[in-house]
Amino acid sequence: MKILITGSKGTVGQAVAHAAQTSGHIAIGWDRSAADPLDLASHGPYIDSVAPDAIIHLGVAATPTGRDNEGWRTTVDWSLALADAAAQRKLPYVFTSTALVFDNSVSGPFTLASASNAREGYGFEKRCAEHGVLLRYPSGTRVARLGWQIDPAGQGNNMVAHAHREMAAHGQVGASTRWQPACSFIDDTAAALLRLLATPPGLYMLDSNRGANFADILQALSDQYHFNWQISRNEDYVYDQRLIDPRPGLPDLAARLPALHG
C-alpha cells in the first residue's frame, strides 16, 4: 500500500513510517510546504497528487506559528477535512486520538462505553475531532486512542525521554505508585496502527498497561535497559488512566517488561 502519513516526523509518526516501510508499504509523509494543514482547499489536490491507498493522521500543531486559533484549526479542522477527503476517495482513514479525552475528574479504567469528558485544551480538541471524523466518514474512519509512548531510544515526546530529563534536572525521577498510566511501547503502537487499516471502522483504544503503576514501570525500564534512574516513589498523583479494549490490539506491557510480573 501507499500510505500518506501526517506528522511523519513526530514521535509516533517516525515509528509508523518505519513500520510501514519494514512491512513492504510505501510511506509518504505529508508535505506541509505543499499543502498547509490550515489551508483546507489545498488538501484535495495534494492528496490526488500523492494518490495514496490509505491515510494515517498523526499530525498536530507541534511548532506553533502564531496564527489565529491554530491549535483548534490543526487538531480539529484539519482532521475533519481529511475525513472528508478520504470519504470522497473511499480511502481507509486512521485518526489518532489520545487518552487525554478523559480528564482526571473521573478515574478509570476507561472502556469503549466510557463517555469522554475533557473540557479544555488538547484533550477537548481531540475529543471534538473524534466525534467529527466519525460523523463525517463513519464507513471508513478508525479512531485510535493512544496512551504515553515508551521508546527505549529516548527520542521525542515519550516516557523514557521524560525520565532522562528528570534525572538530568533533579538527579531522580518522581513517580507515583497510585498512577496507572495508559502507555505502550512505540513499536507495538506503530504496528497496531497499521493493522487498523484492515479492521472495521470505529473506535479503538490502544493501551498495553494491564495494571502496573508508574513507579514500577519506570523501575522495570531502568533495570531492563540499564538507565540507572533513581526512582523516587510517592503517592502524589492518584489516577487510573488505563484504556480497556477487549479486542486484540497491543501486547501486555509485562510481556515487554517481565519484571512487572513480580
Report the pLDDT value the prediction gives residue 155, as an integer from 0 to 100. 76
Alpha helices in the chain (DSSP H): 11-22, 43-50, 70-72, 78-89, 121-136, 159-170, 186-196, 214-225, 253-256
Evaluate if residue 158 carries a pLDDT over 80. Answer: yes
Give CA 245 to chain center in angstroms: 15
Domain ranges of the chain: 2-148+183-206, 151-181+210-261
Would residue 75 be called left, alpha or beta, if left means φ above 0 and alpha means ψ between -120 and 50 degrees?
alpha
- Section 200-215 average pLDDT: 97
CATH 3.40.50.720 given to domain 2-148+183-206 = yes
Evaluate if residue 124 carries a pLDDT over 70. Answer: yes
- Section 79-89 average pLDDT: 97
- Section 224-245 average pLDDT: 97
